[in-house]
Structure 1
């Protein structure tokens, strides 16, 4: 099922030039080639030849420690592995292979890939009482060594990627397994961190050594083009389709490392996934996908819809304006809308009821004074109403939109309220109107919001795989990095770009396009797209095409995919039409 990515330009050691932790020494480096005459036949001999032909050990600088983390795998499943020591890194590597296969000779015929991690450049680290030794951004790049008396653990970066483990998790497990109290841990534990050379030795269908960066491969900005963007979108579409269960339920969250579905749920994200399925069905003209969307909508309404008088509610623990609005939007956009007409009308009644006289929204149905989540729910409701106005030109709808617009423009521009999460929803709603008729104040607000949003995009830092995501490390108050954030910001930015095109705003067009292209690189970095980035995933059909939450957290949540997919639908269509690639 898995095909190689077109972006795997180089698979031998030369491609390590992109790694932030690797430089090259001359062929006279202190770790030489493996003496193949001393290696028995079989897997260890095959690996020795492959390593020598690629010149891997000759070129490593700094020189690795005399230890190797080696794991034998078959289609992601771990067969055997662990840490092995030797006189140097080459000796440790071969000793690992000899010992692992000697214990179970039948393993040799089963292995199709070998995970290798060679540590180097150890440094002392500070054990913190109130936090982890290292922050999340170092996961998958740095390894950690912890020692407390006789207790010791060494965890390499690829193991943290494969187990989806944080440094905090590693430290807690160390304390728990060795019965170390927090005070004893902070007072007497010695911690060290290290960098590591990461490789995947793929043995089938043909032997090849693939250098890895954070258990993956670094996507170059130059790899973003029309073809790769289409593949990114198409794989997301396949993932969305594959997550709908026979009864219509959409899987909300999945943990690739454990091969398990999470128990949580969120109906705002679930109904937005329904919208994504509806749009996919329309784009492809595929009746089967349309039926899948209908089944998913029916499941959601059967399990979470209730009627209170004339008000339609979506209840999951509570009733949120955003869930009500997006459930209505899923119906409004669907080709089978007539079937759900009574639901639509009741849900729309609820959104109207929750608009206050001053233009603000009551955000939770059961609490008339509620104001939480204004950054999200207000724009989600405006998007529903803008879609309805696009269809009907109903003056009552535009009056409600304008009333809410006046309130939320002032609210958002107040410095204490300003938040990037507000921007994409309101942008999508207002651009939908502005492409029908011009409202100068609304147009300028869209540009003002998105001009400011560009400052949130990360384009520098220690690790280039983070570039292009919408997260500013200097402003953590706006929330952690997340695939769904990058996806929804691209949904808004492509609409802002379309508005800039409409008004011939050349400078804005260039800036918005540049941000979109960088955002696409980030999404490509996060997608499970081949057997390299799924080297530790055993249930690959469950994750193929899905989007990690971050570069270092491989959990897949449905909104990681749906926002990016719907943004890509418009990006591909718009850039194709504009020749903007």
Structure 2
């Protein structure tokens, strides 16, 4: 079905900016300040690869994007990809993180050129399993950094990303080994993150584990996965601002969960889209309405952060930032690549799950 007009506008502007944001070498500009024209000297391979996966998915239905996708994928393979003894992985700055390797596998699985990369995708899947412990938990690094790190914190991001990657690879190939191993890891994290949520809660794991459990519910119809999705997302809604910057995911009562950030808003919204679909699938109309309302508020906030008008203060041409999404409404004017990428993925997911009557209502309320 067609998306509601305002939702499609947010997505289309963000997609156009992402495509314009790819340099000649095939790498996305990581972050830009439209007011000053500065480009960040920082980079993050995991966020780059999340955007690579989004571009791969966009190019499935848009043939004109395939050369851009191939250029981006060529950069990744020629610059960051390594393979040793059947293990494929991303190496960046001497390190190899589980999350980046998961996003590499997701990019392969989403690509219209998957057939050309089947052996590399299999190696990347094996690279993820190389970081799986006997109890199903993961380790965060294939090649560790030379500084101390908080593995538990890193895995609030990486563990769900790895689960989603393995399941998407299973959907693409039908290779049951990867479904079985993802299921084994899911059992560990159901205990860690859902049954023991009071002790271990951190909102970053909610969207990735939501997507993974939704996939596992689709494959198994096991009630425990639906219940996990609801437990996680009911808790997440406590974070959404309903009084000041309405719709953003930030609660000043819990500053330990991070500062306001459009990237977080986008990925939480994507997770809520899957939770909404789960509520619909199981006939839970109350939760479906609650999740859809939260999504509506979030997208309204994200739309307010999107650069849609030419800035008189900026010396940059309008196309350089049109459609980009600033990090927050306070002091951070920078537009980072994953701010746009997560928003695109959220809207795409929601569009897949909305019925025509709901879409019409959503458009009027937004």
- TM-score relative to the length of structure 2: 0.91
Q: 2:73 and 2:222 mapped to 1: Cα distance?
A: 34
Aligned to 1:350: 127
Alpha carbons of structure 1 residues 525 and 316: separation in structure 2 relative to 1, 3 Å: same
Aligned to 2:78: 302
Shift of 1:481: 0.8
Q: 1:544 and 1:479 mapped to 2: Cα distance?
A: 27
Instruction: Decide which of 376, 385, 395 is 2:176's aligned counterpart.
Output: 395
Does residue 1:229 correspond to 2:7, yes or no?
yes
The within-5 A match list for 1:73-472 is 226-282=4-60, 285-317=61-93, 318-367=95-144, 370-412=151-193, 413-461=196-244, 466-472=245-251
Q: 2:38 and 2:18 mapped to 1: Cα distance?
A: 17
Shift of 1:537: 2.1
**3-state SS in 2 of match to 1:365:** strand
Range with bigger deviation, 473-482 or 404-413 = 404-413
**3-state SS in 1 of match to 2:142:** coil
**3-state SS in 2 of match to 1:260:** coil
Q: 1:433 and 1:333 mapped to 2: Cα distance?
A: 18
Number of equivalences = 349
Q: 1:395 and 1:409 mapped to 2: Cα distance?
A: 21
Counterpart contact for 2:31–2:334, Cα < 8 Å: yes
1:145-193: per-residue Cα shift (whole Å, max 9, x none)?
xxxxxxxxxxxxxxxxxxxxxxxxxxxxxxxxxxxxxxxxxxxxxxxxx
Shift of 1:393: 4.1
**3-state SS in 1 of match to 2:15:** helix
Instruction: Decide which of 333, 342, 347 is 1:563's aligned counterpart.
Output: 342
Counterpart contact for 1:501–1:509, Cα < 8 Å: yes
Gaps of 5+ in 2: none
1:111-154: per-residue Cα shift (whole Å, max 9, x none)?
xxxxxxxxxxxxxxxxxxxxxxxxxxxxxxxxxxxxxxxxxxxx
Q: 1:227 and 1:278 mapped to 2: Cα distance?
A: 24
1:364-400: per-residue Cα shift (whole Å, max 9, x none)?
1134995551111100110011112223444322221
Does residue 1:498 correspond to 2:277, yes or no?
yes
Aligned to 2:263: 484
1:73-129: per-residue Cα shift (whole Å, max 9, x none)?
xxxxxxxxxxxxxxxxxxxxxxxxxxxxxxxxxxxxxxxxxxxxxxxxxxxxxxxxx
Counterpart contact for 1:255–1:555, Cα < 8 Å: yes
Tell me which protein shows more strand as a share of its residues.
1
Q: 1:331 and 1:392 mapped to 2: Cα distance?
A: 11
Shift of 1:340: 2.2
Q: 1:391 and 1:327 mapped to 2: Cα distance?
A: 14
Counterpart contact for 2:59–2:112, Cα < 8 Å: no
**3-state SS in 1 of match to 2:307:** coil
- Which structure 1 residue ranges, 4+ long, deviate > 6 Å from structure 2? none
Alpha carbons of structure 1 residues 321 and 414: separation in structure 2 relative to 1, 3 Å: same
**3-state SS in 1 of match to 2:76:** helix
Counterpart contact for 1:454–1:515, Cα < 8 Å: yes
Tell me which protein shows more helix as a share of its residues.
2
Alpha carbons of structure 1 residues 393 and 341: separation in structure 2 relative to 1, 3 Å: closer
**3-state SS in 2 of match to 1:477:** helix
Structure ranking higher on relative contact order (CA contacts 8 Å, 6+ apart): 2
Alpha carbons of structure 1 residues 340 and 393: separation in structure 2 relative to 1, 3 Å: closer
Does residue 1:542 correspond to 2:320, yes or no?
yes
Q: 2:218 and 2:256 mapped to 1: Cα distance?
A: 34
Alpha carbons of structure 1 residues 346 and 389: separation in structure 2 relative to 1, 3 Å: closer
Shift of 1:578: 5.2
1:458-506: per-residue Cα shift (whole Å, max 9, x none)?
0113xxxx21001111100011110000000011000110111111110
Shift of 1:573: 3.6
Larger Rg: 1
1:32-83: per-residue Cα shift (whole Å, max 9, x none)?
xxxxxxxxxxxxxxxxxxxxxxxxxxxxxxxxxxxxxxxxxxxxxxxxxxxx
Q: 1:260 and 1:290 mapped to 2: Cα distance?
A: 29
Aligned to 1:508: 287
Alpha carbons of structure 1 residues 433 and 393: separation in structure 2 relative to 1, 3 Å: farther
Gaps of 5+ in 1: 1-224
